[in-house]
Amino acid sequence: MTNPSILILCTGNSCRSHLAEGLLRSLAGDILDVHSAGSKPAGSVHPLGIQVMKEIGIDISSHHSKHMNDFLKQDIETVVTVCGNADQSCPMFPGQLNRHHWGFDDPAHAVGTDAEKLLVFRRVRDEIRRVLSAYADGRRDQLKAGK
């Protein structure tokens, strides 16, 4: 039996969705098949996103931007949107049972010095980690309960 597929969506699939993908894989990759995509992929992963994930021991340097339509023929059990634009443009996916919207600030829009931008990236990473930790714990509880 394969693990349920989770698709994390954001508009550009360059930052928040990759932070979330890396975090959820780290937290629950043994029980969930985690992917990310965007409605208008930017074509790259933000370097500061890669950097702040490396700081906590998660390597997302091999991630790349993907379009959400690439997943339309896959069984996606749960779709998680992490920005308002993706939430509004999100289609239904085959097999989709759940949809969650957890909006986070876009750290790619941070201004200031590199040090100030890093603070924003770290804050958003940590906010995403708190939400996804609770989600992963809930999914593990469901498995233990046999649901």
Among residues 15, 40, 14, 20, the alpha carbon closest in space to that of 32 is found at: 20
Q: State which residues form the domain around 136.
A: 5-145
Domains identified in the chain, total number:
1
The reported pTM is 0.93
Of the candidates 8, 9, 10, 15, the residue annotated as catalytic is 10
Q: What CATH number should be reported for the domain holding residue 85?
A: 3.40.50.2300
Taking only the tens of pLDDT, the chain with its 147 residues reads 689 999 999 988 999 999 999 999 999 999 999 999 998 999 999 999 999 999 999 999 999 999 999 998 888 999 999 987 655 666 667 677 888 999 999 999 999 999 999 999 999 999 999 999 999 999 999 989 986
Q: What does the alpha-carbon distance between residue 93 and residue 70 come to, in Å, rounded to a whole number? A: 11
Q: Which residues contact 46 (CB under 8 A, 6 or more apart)?
A: 14, 15, 18, 107, 108
Q: Please say if 15 is a catalytic residue.
A: no
Among residues 26, 13, 9, 18, the alpha carbon closest in space to that of 133 is found at: 26
Three-state secondary-structure class, residue 48: helix
Q: What does the alpha-carbon distance between residue 46 and residue 33 come to, in Å, rounded to a whole number? A: 23
Of the candidates 23, 45, 76, 90, the residue annotated as catalytic is 90
Q: Please say if 90 is a catalytic residue.
A: yes
